[in-house]
């Protein structure tokens, strides 16, 4: 597989990728110029990939590319337009307004088929997204939006209904190491130096799967390292990378490289029941100007995933927190977020329900859907009633304790256990009730 750098940067309104000069950052110098140089995302652009099939048919629908930073959303959009010979225009939602959108659309009316790329489309307001609808519907532009956030939350339904959402996967270790090797072998500046990578671990860990960050880190390390006096080679080791990286780490920026590191530490601190660390990372995000809805949404997920049934009130408080910060905004939202963070961090923890639904979905994907037991089936027609649909169903409220022992799972799955109660008082009580109701059936 050919390797190249896969990353996003502020897009430039140019019709085709251009080769940056030697003064540009390494990540820009190594940006793929063709789809053949593009590494990763084979489920989309490989021989059987859906986007490859669109290109072979000579057409391209409007798309939303959803994935983590540094996996190639901007580059892919540009290369798709290039492959079809389409005019390419781009905007960054960070600094573009409705006026900018309308100006691009007016220019596109003179060049039908223009591909309009909008980086960080989740940062567009509803009015900005509404301004796109007519041009997309009329075919004036083919929209390609890029987002690191779940488009179901951040992109309005009208836009989602007119675009196909495709998920870009995180880059594998092999692809990332290939990007490093490719840069050392083919970049005009780096290949003039005798660089040997002895250890890749720190490069990959610090960059966190972001190819742009990986290449920029590689360039920093090479420039700051001293050649071996005997061999003249620059040897890259994990220890050396860590020391140099600590000297060059930038402060938290909601659009920068530390964004995902800090939110990861924040979530893990709450999961680990450390309110002090959690409050620190919350403060870092707030001081960096992070969107309070982004923080509250993560707390909402954590309340169900990590606290779960050990404290069911956690989900309700997190939901109230999300609604409150949406209405109030900063600066007062820090009080509400702080209260919720402390509550979640000090709550007992359980991921039992999270694991249960994951196991159930995995089984459905593996085995397909099993037939619903006849007593549980609906009987809206006379024929279905004659076939016995629903006839042996025992209505639980007609029995003592509002419970009737009967089979609810498909026959092939009888006795299958997905939910294993966590070790906490609330779920211990639930486990005891399940044991009383079901006896040995599920092993509770």
pLDDT at residue 251 tops 70? no
Question: From 1.10.10.10, 1.10.8.60, 3.40.1410.10, 1.10.3720.10, which CATH number describes the 173-248 domain?
Answer: 1.10.8.60
Domain boundaries, the chain: 40-167, 173-248, 259-346, 368-438
Contact 49/157 with Cβ under 8 angstroms? Answer: no
Residue with tokens 């209260």: 339
With a cut of 80, say whether residue 246 has pLDDT above it: no
Residue 3: the pLDDT is 39
Asked if residue 83 lies in contact with residue 54, where contact means CB atoms within 8 angstroms, the answer is no
C-beta of residue 88 within 8 angstroms of C-beta of residue 114: yes
Q: Are 252 and 315 in contact (CB under 8 A)?
A: no
The confidence band for 70, taking pLDDT boundaries of 50, 70 and 90, is: confident
Q: What's the pLDDT band for 151 if we cut at 50, 70, 90? A: confident
Output the DSSP codes for 55-81. Answer: HHTT----EEEE--TTSSHHHHHHHHH
* Residue 156 pLDDT exceeds 50: yes
Chain mean pLDDT for the chain = 84
Class for the domain spanning 259-346: mainly alpha
**CATH tag, 40-167:** 3.40.50.300
Q: How do beta strands 234-236 and 195-197 pair?
A: parallel
Three-state DSSP at 118 gives strand
5 Cβ contact partners less than 8 Å away, ≥ 6 residues apart? 27, 30, 31, 32, 75, 179, 182, 183, 211, 212, 215
CB atoms < 10 A from the CB of 138, how many? 11
170 burial type by CB count under 10 A (0-12 exposed, 13-18 middle, 19+ buried): middle
Share of the chain above pLDDT 90, in %: 31
Average pLDDT estimate for 202-213: 85
Band (302; pLDDT cuts 50, 70, 90):
very high
- How many angstroms separate the CA atoms of 108 and 116, rounded? 9
* CATH class for the region spanning 368-438: mainly alpha
Q: Is the pTM of this model over 0.75?
A: no
CB atoms within 10 A of CB 273: 15
Range in 262-271, 286-295, 335-344, 353-362 the model is least confident about: 286-295
pLDDT over threshold 50, residue 12: no
Give 422: exposed, middle or buried? Use CB within 10 Å, 0-12, 13-18, 19+.
buried
Whole-number pLDDT of residue 385? 67
Which residue has 């979905």 as its token pair? 361
- Closest among 371, 363, 366, 356 to 418, alpha carbons compared: 356
pLDDT bracket for residue 379 (50, 70, 90): low
Residue 248 pLDDT level (bands cut at 50, 70, 90): low
Q: How confident is the model at residue 205 (pLDDT cuts 50, 70, 90)?
A: confident
Say how far apart CA 317 and CA 90 lie, in whole Å. Answer: 40
The per-residue DSSP string of 147-214 comes to ESS-HHHHS-HHHHTTSEEEEPPPPPHHHHHHHHHHHHHH-TTGGGS-EEES--HHHHHHHTT-HHHH
Q: First CA to last CA across the chain, in angstroms?
A: 50
Quick one: pLDDT band at residue 271, thresholds 50, 70, 90? very high
pLDDT in tens, 307-347: 999 999 999 999 999 999 999 888 889 999 999 999 999 99
- pLDDT range class, residue 7, cuts 50, 70, 90: very low
Give the Cα separation of 272 and 100 in Å (integer): 45
DSSP category for residue 93: T
234: helix, coil or strand?
strand
Tens of pLDDT, residue by residue over 107-133, are 888 887 889 999 888 888 888 888 888
Statement: residue 180 has pLDDT above 50 = yes
Q: Residue 108 and residue 92: Cα distance in Å, rounded?
A: 17
């Amino acid at each position: 597989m050919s390797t190249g750098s896969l990353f996003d940067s502020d897009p430039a309104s140019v019709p085709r990728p251009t080769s940056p000069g030697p003064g540009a950052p390494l990540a820009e110098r190594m940006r793929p110029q063709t789809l053949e140089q593009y590494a990763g995302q084979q489920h989309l652009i490989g021989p059987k990939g859906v986007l490859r099939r669109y290109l072979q048919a000579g057409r391209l629908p409007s798309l939303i590319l959803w994935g983590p930073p540094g996996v190639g959303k901007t580059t892919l959009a540009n290369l798709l337009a290039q492959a079809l010979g389409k005019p390419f225009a781009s905007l960054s939602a960070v600094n573009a307004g409705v006026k900018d959108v309308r100006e691009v659309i007016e220019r596109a009316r003179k060049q039908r088929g223009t591909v309009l790329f909008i980086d960080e489309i989740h940062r567009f307001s509803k009015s900005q997204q509404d301004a796109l609808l007519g041009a997309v519907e009329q075919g004036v532009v083919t929209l390609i939006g890029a987002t690191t956030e779940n488009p179901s939350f951040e992109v309005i339904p009208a836009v989602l209904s007119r675009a196909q959402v495709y998920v870009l996967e995180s880059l594998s270790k092999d692809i990332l190491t290939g990007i490093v090797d490719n840069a050392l072998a083919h970049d005009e500046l780096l290949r003039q130096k005798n660089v040997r990578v002895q250890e890749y671990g720190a490069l990959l860990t610090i960059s966190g799967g972001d190819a742009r960050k990986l290449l920029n880190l590689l360039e920093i390390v090479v420039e700051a390292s001293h050649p071996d006096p005997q061999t003249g080679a620059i040897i890259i080791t994990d220890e050396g990378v860590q020391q140099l990286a600590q000297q060059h780490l930038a402060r938290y920026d909601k659009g920068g490289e530390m964004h995902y590191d800090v939110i990861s530490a924040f979530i893990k601190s709450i999961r680990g029941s450390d309110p002090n660390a959690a409050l620190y990372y919350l403060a870092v995000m707030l001081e960096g100007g992070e969107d309070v809805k982004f923080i509250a949404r993560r707390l909402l997920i954590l309340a169900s995933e990590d606290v779960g049934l050990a404290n069911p009130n956690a989900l309700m408080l997190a939901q109230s927190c999300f609604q409150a910060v949406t209405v109030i905004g900063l600066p007062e939202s820090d009080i509400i977020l702080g209260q919720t963070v402390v509550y979640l961090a000090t709550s007992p923890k359980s991921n039992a329900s999270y694991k249960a639904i994951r196991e159930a979905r995995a089984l459905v994907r593996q085995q397909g859907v099993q037939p619903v037991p006849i007593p549980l089936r609906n009987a809206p027609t006379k024929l279905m009633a004659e076939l016995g649909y629903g006839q042996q169903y025992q209505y639980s409220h007609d029995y003592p304790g509002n419970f009737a022992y009967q089979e609810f799972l498909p026959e092939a799955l009888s006795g299958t256990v997905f939910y294993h109660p966590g070790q906490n008082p609330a779920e211990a009580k639930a486990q005891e009730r399940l044991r009383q109701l079901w006896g040995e059936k599920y092993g509770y």
